[in-house]
Chains A and B, each alone.
Chain A
Amino acid sequence: MSQELSAKEHTGHPTAGQYFRIAVILCAITAVEVGIFYLEFLGHWMIPILFTLSAFKFALVAMYYMHLKFDHKLFTYMFVAGFILAACVISFLLLLFGVYS
């Protein structure tokens, strides 16, 4: 039995190889983000694209590196509650100061 397999069986956490693959994906997305940034013809489409890529990176780190995918759901709820509240603070402050208008 390999050490990686053993680790996965016993703890439910990803293996070292899977952590490395996630790191490669994260770096690739960052490279794509920087590449997209220089594509001027995208215009305002750049904002939702970059936002989506950033959210994907955020989710990957939270789910796999922070083990939220494998830990008890209550930890996820506690973190997501803070995140949603932060998103609401940002949205309402922008609304209050007329940034959208």
Chain B
Amino acid sequence: MAQEHAAPIHGEDEGTTTGLNHRKMLMWAFLGSDCMFFGSLIATYLVYQGKSLEGPLPIDVFDIPVTSISTFVLLMSSMSMVLAYSALTKNNMKGFRIWMVSTAIMGATFIGFQVYEFSSFANHHVEVDCVNPGELTKYEQHIFDEGCASGEAHAESHEGLKPQTNLFGTTFYTLTGFHGAHVTLGIVWLLSLLLLSFKKGVITPEKNLDVDLAALYWHFVDVVWIVIFTVVYLFGVFPGF
């Protein structure tokens, strides 16, 4: 049954001194080092958490439902990626291409969400009712104190959150921006492999290491986002953190 052809597992019995595939080992070494890279960025974000002198702060700008949807999209792209690899190892090239395209589309969708988020943060607009202000965040209270003192009915700010606005803006955009850059690079990688798959003999069930490495990279980008979503977004809005 040709369709059930078994692809080799890369990483073992490769005829190297370790018996492991060197390219795959290098990929894992890179992912380990990238863990430290993102660990440093997350640590910097946490160290400066709550130390911004002025707003907007996480509670003012984060939209958890929107970020939850983008997280869902990225998780689904990981499933799509692993199904692409699975299809390739079964010599199902049509399935491989379909899943690769869907992975790239979901990755692009995630980037779209990030562009929307960055744009809405940068153009963040706050309006406070001076007569019935209700429950205010620290930043809104600051706007209330400054804008309502002269007897105005409303106080507003068009400051927005930019990298230079405060420590939160700097560390947030650096961390999520680098993650977005990783996702973008991953999309380019996936599309390159997709194009190469149309060239005869370049990507086959036997020669699947290129796809395997791209898949590892893509899943790594996913696990980094799992951490960012919890530590930056959910903890960021939690008042006790």
Contact = CB atoms under 8 A, between A and B. Distances in A.
Interface of A: 1, 3, 6-7, 9-13, 15-16, 19-20, 22-23, 26-27, 30-31, 33-34, 37, 43-44, 46-47, 50-51, 53-54, 57-58, 61-62, 64-66, 70-72, 74-75, 78-79, 81-83, 85-87, 89-90, 93-94, 97, 99
Nearest to A19: B82
B11 A13 contact: no
Nearest to B34: A82
A12 B33 CA distance: 27
Given A37-B64, A79-B31, A82-B31, A94 B43 contact: yes
Contacts of B223: 57-58, 61-62, 66
Contacts, number: 167
B191 interface: no
Given A1-B4, A61-B78, A62-B223, A74 B9 contact: no
A49 to B, nearest CB: 10
B202 interface: no
A30 B75 contact: yes
Contact of B230 (A33, A62, A65): A33
A34 B31 contact: no
B4 A94 contact: no
Given A50-B230, A79-B32, A74 B25 contact: yes
B136 interface: no
A25 B46 CA distance: 28
Q: Which of A22, A26, A31, A90 has the most CB of B within 10 A?
A: A90
Contacts of A10: 4, 6-7
A78 B28 contact: yes
Contacts of A26: 75, 78-79
Contacts of B240: 43-44, 46-47
